[in-house]
Structure 1
């Protein structure tokens, strides 16, 4: 029935009203779609547009979040302020984000996307402490997101197959038919999905009296699968913690990420369970709600030990930095929910969003701290081996062990892969660095092969 009614007059009217309500978001969505289509079909090949594409896409979410945060408190000027702040957001990030093929560039964009997306979850509730309205609003947002993705996927697949069928049956060949999947993908997921998503965002954020029960299937999954699994994982980690204490060994390398995923699963369960606050629940669910954060504290101690030990041994990297920040954040959330009576749910996305956005830029950012740490380690180990002497690279005179070569190789490869050759300027002689920059294919391996650090040499 939903498919039959999708394009009725009423539905079209709702979509039209959403265009009037969110014109800045719609304009950015159209611009983003046109830009992405032009880039993937190679109609334009310009560094300016390539840098602009991901920022413009994130700007769609940013403009929506800003508009929702101002819609009721600054109704008269909300569109003007949204337009101004969105343009400012795009320009600032355009000049800060230097495009390159390094992993840190993509990680920064992903972190910015996550931070702004979290901002969307609490934007209308900056001055509200209503947990029910916050919870109900986010249920609507998640539902609209799932519906819009599903409809967009159906539209994309349907139109793509139609174009291919026409091309096959009538032997019709053109530039459009050959690149149809590229055009249709961005039209479906970058434009139509935005229209469908916006059409379902509620105008009223005071949803306290609008009781929105989560679906029976989600309730069943949470009560009988997610909560028991989370408790099982906690039990396993407690046994592992006992083993660590008994054998006096350090946690394994992936324990940090395992505990991070466990905490994420636990917080998702807490948010879902709050929507069923008045319902009758099994005993294990009551136990989980009451003791989850208390049970989490000792496991956070294991996480801290594992992360700090590896930082002390191998230096800081982006993943270790984010893991450490995440650990501090979960500790803060756990203490907050243990000690406070109000238990404002919006503190979860609000604090995480602020943390993600705060650690993208500046000397304290994950990227600057990690680069400085690895450069310090590189100077230290390369200097001790004779590989780097007064900014000049040399073939090491002493016979290096395999472990020493591997350490120099891994640190050098990390710096170049994550931060680019230019990050070594000031550490390595400019003349040697310029020669390496010309050899774009080998990248880090230019230094490794040229100065006798390859694996063959260590044998």
Structure 2
């Protein structure tokens, strides 16, 4: 593989900047936003959200600007007017920044991918809106696809070379390049180099493409001997399964939807790839395959609609089920179109899919509105059936079956995780906007602001489940302190000296950060003394110094502390919502010493989180850190 010369790169960059100024501006903004996101990840989730919004907007801006440019060029619109069209498209895209809020609304991430899909589909046909441009449309998309693969290959090779050089500098010269350097490098290569390289290969003579009837032989071989056999394999399996359903008279399994979509993807892709050579005398089998493919789609689509209808009737609409239903309807339309239409225009495929994608993003018919309405209806039915719906509001549930309780929690989880917290406001008397703001600013059990959307979302779920009296149905998905039930009680104990280690009187210390796991073994050599630390089983630590062995039972220490819980009360910190009780204890409470023949060894716990049953006998460790303090005997 040969790379282009620096002169060619310079000329390509100039042509790209001249032809695609808006696209490159958005690519540059997206690259900067990605770098900022990498640096801020898990440090400040509010600023991280801003980076995500800028990145999402810039990516969409690039795609929409490209579609606008291609449309203008195909219509021979002059440069000043083309600039105005692109400016309008850029400003409209910039408004999406204010519509996106992935920190609060997870559905905005899905909306972004849907808009990106619609934008890519728009690029596919933006330059070929005239009815007689089918051949040019096919050649244009073939060129884009092959050039995209080439640009990704060049980018990957460039990244591998530079990354290897950075790794060599770290190894040979002791340069301290952090791991995020490699992420930033990949972002810069894909954001700038890959974009420039790809845009440099976008065709600009669309009329010439319409007269181009060349066809890669390798493409026909790939389609004929790879894609079509795969599609045939899928349809044989599916038809056999359909016969089995008819014989046993059972409802189809959910997996059948994926198989049918797989068959549809391989079949339609195969037909698109061999479309230009369908009329040649030696390729009569293509028309036979096409009609057979679409005829076989009809019984499979019937099976797909039955599978979807069964699950929707039981569990309601969710976004995945909505999209599956939408795809099923689209496949039904495409099937009838290609079976009945005499003039088969393959541009119908991206155009119709683009329109359906846009319809699914916003509005009452969108995936999110339909799914939210469906799940709220299910939740409303549960509360009404359990006499917890008064004056148009949900009230605390006093008595509910396990099945309905778990279903209510699952439905609440779906609504909160896929929408704004305030989606439940019509059914709740308390102001959820105020609650949401309060939870977003609340500190965790260590006194830190929460650093990710998932932590904030978890807080909202815990609050709403507690509000409706559904704690006991939360299972393992959300943590609650069930001290009033016959379950485990949870504790967090912190050493008052956490972060500070006084080493006077000791020869050396050994830090232990993952001592809950049986494989947390380490080996050291200090002053010619061989030292091994090990976890014999959860809560039982062993340290070997040469021939001396000391064993520390953390379970026994924590058990003794909880049996004398009254002594801990002066050190109890202010409660933090439903979080477990947290104590900041003197070091003497959290350390114990063992004497061996040649050493005095103290193990000092820094932080420990654990659960203990009602009898205060069985301890289950969740998280523990500590240090060994070792002194040689004279």
Alignment TM-score, normalising by the size of structure 2:
0.66
The equivalent residue for 2:460 is: 443
Do the aligned residues in 2 keep the contact of 1:124 with 1:205 (CA within 8 Å)?
Answer: yes
Based on CA coordinates, which of the two structures has the bigger radius of gyration? Answer: 2
The equivalent residue for 1:430 is: 430
The equivalent residue for 1:146 is: 149
Name the structure with the higher strand share: 2
1:253 and 2:254 equivalent?
yes
Do the aligned residues in 2 keep the contact of 1:32 with 1:56 (CA within 8 Å)?
Answer: yes
The equivalent residue for 1:97 is: 100
Distance in structure 1 (CA, Å) of the matches to 2:363 and 2:381:
25
Do the aligned residues in 1 keep the contact of 2:386 with 2:397 (CA within 8 Å)?
Answer: no
Q: Could you list the per-position Cα deviations for residues 69-96 of structure 1 after superposition, in whole angstroms to 9, with x for gaps in the alignment?
A: 1113113445323432332232332222
Alignment TM-score, normalising by the size of structure 1:
0.90
The equivalent residue for 2:352 is: 351
Alpha-carbon shift at residue 164 of structure 1 (Å):
2.8
1:111 and 2:106 equivalent?
no
Distance in structure 1 (CA, Å) of the matches to 2:210 and 2:285:
28
Give the stretch that moved more between structures: 252-261 or 429-438.
429-438
Give the stretch that moved more between structures: 441-450 or 13-22.
441-450
Distance in structure 2 (CA, Å) of the matches to 1:59 and 1:354:
18
The equivalent residue for 1:195 is: 196
Alpha-carbon shift at residue 255 of structure 1 (Å):
1.9
Distance in structure 2 (CA, Å) of the matches to 1:14 and 1:59:
22
The equivalent residue for 1:23 is: 21
Alpha-carbon shift at residue 358 of structure 1 (Å):
1.9
What pairs with 1:31-430 in structure 2 (closer than 5 Å)?
31-42=29-40, 45=47, 47-73=49-75, 74-100=77-103, 102-173=105-176, 179-206=180-207, 207-216=209-218, 218-277=219-278, 285-390=286-391, 391-397=393-399, 400-430=400-430
Instruction: Classify 1:306/1:8 alpha carbon distance in 2 versus 1 (closer, same or farther; 3 Å).
Output: same
Alpha-carbon shift at residue 29 of structure 1 (Å):
1.0
The structure with higher relative contact order (CA 8 Å, sep 6+) is 1
| Structural RMSD (CA) | 2.7
Do the aligned residues in 1 keep the contact of 2:234 with 2:262 (CA within 8 Å)?
Answer: no
Do the aligned residues in 1 keep the contact of 2:49 with 2:103 (CA within 8 Å)?
Answer: no
Name the structure with the higher helix share: 1
The equivalent residue for 2:620 is: none
Instruction: Classify 1:405/1:392 alpha carbon distance in 2 versus 1 (closer, same or farther; 3 Å).
Output: closer
Alpha-carbon shift at residue 111 of structure 1 (Å):
0.8
Alpha-carbon shift at residue 62 of structure 1 (Å):
1.0
Alpha-carbon shift at residue 223 of structure 1 (Å):
0.9
Instruction: Classify 1:254/1:2 alpha carbon distance in 2 versus 1 (closer, same or farther; 3 Å).
Output: same
Distance in structure 2 (CA, Å) of the matches to 1:431 and 1:198:
50
Distance in structure 2 (CA, Å) of the matches to 1:60 and 1:208:
26
Alpha-carbon shift at residue 353 of structure 1 (Å):
0.8
Do the aligned residues in 1 keep the contact of 2:234 with 2:259 (CA within 8 Å)?
Answer: no
User: Unmatched 5+ residue regions in structure 1?
Assistant: none
Alpha-carbon shift at residue 232 of structure 1 (Å):
2.4
Instruction: Classify 1:287/1:445 alpha carbon distance in 2 versus 1 (closer, same or farther; 3 Å).
Output: farther
